[in-house]
A = this chain, B = another copy of it.
Amino acid sequence: MEKPKTRLFVDHPLGEEQAIPLEREQAHYLFGVMRLDAGAAVAVFNGRDGEWRAEVTQAGKRGGTLQCVAQTQPQSTPPDVWLMFAPVKKARTDFIVEKAVEMGAQRIVPVQTEFTNSERLRVDKQQAHAVEAAEQCGATFVPTVEPLQRLDRLLADWDPARRILFCDESAVGAKVSLTAVTPGPWAILIGPEGGFSSAERDRLRGLDHAVPISLGPRILRAETAAVAAMTAWQMAVGDWS
């Protein structure tokens, strides 16, 4: 049986013969944009029940229904790693969220640092963006995008059981070492374009549960650093290892 070309996130329980009512936008996408008819196959997932092959049972302009046929992937939740980053220009922030999903972050935490340019972030838009990225990359899990939080407050309330791998651009050129990255819950922290302030860097360096990492001899943009740090982490202790 061929794999359905269309993959859709639905916020609805999935299971044997389960009917899934479609929202207006979903109907528009499936029947208007993708031009599917009744009987067409769609891959669906809801972030909890794995991936299912579903069939269109009713196709309308403003709504419709799918019905689950069979599970095609079990639920797979990425390892316990968060991606924390300082929002940059809109297009690159979108990219970071997309990359966080592809690379298997479990939670996406935008943080406001002293040198963060952007002080606003549309959580709803970024969450929708994370859903789209999950639809594209074949994941059955969608990370939650948190509202923008101040880094100093976040660190003040931090649970030290979750270690922080912070990408320290002042360490550019230092050899990359992952020996301190051992299994357990982690958060990867990517600095803003202007780097961390010296107060922030001192504070991070003073935390027992924070580990600095250098990402090679060149200065990486935030979205590149996000992918590189996630790669290093996933290879060391995550679901690539």
Contacts and interface: CB of A to CB of B under 8 A. Distances in A.
Interface of A: 76, 95, 98-99, 102-104, 136-139, 172, 175-176, 178, 215-221, 224, 227-228, 231-232, 234-235, 239-241
A224 B220 CA distance: 14
10 contacts: A95-B95, A98-B221, A99-B224, A102-B220, A102-B224, A137-B219, A138-B218, A139-B218, A175-B240, A227-B227
A76 B234 contact: no
Contacts of A137: 218-221
A104 B218 contact: yes
Given A103-B224, A231-B231, A176 B218 contact: no
Contacts of A136: 219, 221
Contacts of A224: 99, 102-103, 227
A132 to B, nearest CB: 12
A221 B137 CA distance: 8
B176 A241 contact: yes
Contacts of A138: 172, 218-219
Contacts of A178: 235
A175 B240 CA distance: 6
A40 to B, nearest CB: 20
Contacts of A103: 216, 218, 220, 224, 228
Contacts of A95: 95
A216 B232 contact: no
Given A227-B224, A227-B227, A218 B175 contact: no
A215 B227 CA distance: 12
A235 B102 contact: no
Contacts of A219: 102, 136-138
Contacts of A228: 103, 227-228, 231
Contact of A217 (B104, B172, B227, B235): B104
Contacts of A216: 103-104, 234, 239-240
